[in-house]
Amino acid sequence: MVAGVFAHNCEEPNLQNIARPSTIEAKMARDLFVAPPGRILLEADFSQLELRVATMLSGDPDMLKIWEEGVDYHQRTAELIAKTAWGIDPSQVTGEHRSQAKTVNFAILYGMAAKTLARKLHISQADAERILVAIRGKFKVFARWCDEQLMLAKRLGYVRTWWNGQPARRRPLLAIGNSRSSEQDRKAISNAEKAAVNTPIQGTASDFCLASLGACVQWIRGDYVPTKLVLTVHDSLMFEVDDNDEAIEEVAFNANRIMSSWPSAGKVEVPLVIDFKKGQAWGSLKKYKLAA
């Protein structure tokens, strides 16, 4: 069963493709990766980075307000759409409602259709469509930005990531101009249309992580710190650290300092928050709170 977790519906799977430890099989797979004796793994993870980047690029004031208040983004989204999506008062929002809002928040970033979303959430397509419309209705500036990105990609044939408020890497989307004469063309167009919105967000988020990777390596080498930066996985950096409180705190403090220091990629400043976990095995990491 563990082998199935490694495959995860992809070819030549790597650490990016191993599922999060939400099931026993996924946890077993991740627990195969351990720190050597006397050392510990320390994970520094950008909290909800793609949603923060989406806020930076779109400048949506309602999204920004959630970040500035420091509340749970998905919980607040569920409360905002409670009446429209489920016909309930915001005070009646449950964990299930939050979970649905979380899925939809990311579905919008990835261009997921209502039909696919309904299947993922085990709800009707009409209910999925209603939640999608509700969230887009609450974050109107972001919704308009998504539409503008799609139109821009169709006109130019490419999209860009952003860095420090300036256009950066360029991704061609030639298929976005294809005719719809065949099923293959329609699929290519659909993928290109999704990438028109997702690439600026996900690509820019990736750059925050890669810039942090380089800066953390420079810090480790410059200060001769006895730690290793092992790899990046999604929006996190994984360190191998001496298993003592002083070493862990030093690495966590400096990782937090570096990773949260980058300027906004777009129109508004959004705080970058780093969450930490530590443990001997990758699948059994526990939350670690940085000292005040």
pLDDT at residue 3, as a whole number: 43
What is the C-alpha separation between 40 and 132, in angstroms, rounded? 42
HEC string of 55-110 equals HHHHCCHHHHHHHHHCCCHHHHHHHHHHHHHHCCCHHHCCHHHHHHHHHHHHHHHH
- Phi and psi (nearest 5°) for 230? -75, -50
Reported as a pLDDT band with limits 50, 70 and 90, residue 2 is very low
Comparison of pLDDT for 204 and 20, the residue scoring more: 204
- pTM here? 0.87
- pLDDT at residue 6 greater than cutoff 80: no
pLDDT tens-place string over residues 125-182: 888 888 888 888 889 999 999 999 999 999 999 999 999 989 999 999 888 876 666 6
- Phi and psi (nearest 5°) for 113? -75, 160
Comparison of pLDDT for 73 and 84, the residue scoring more: 73
- Phi and psi (nearest 5°) for 57? -75, -40
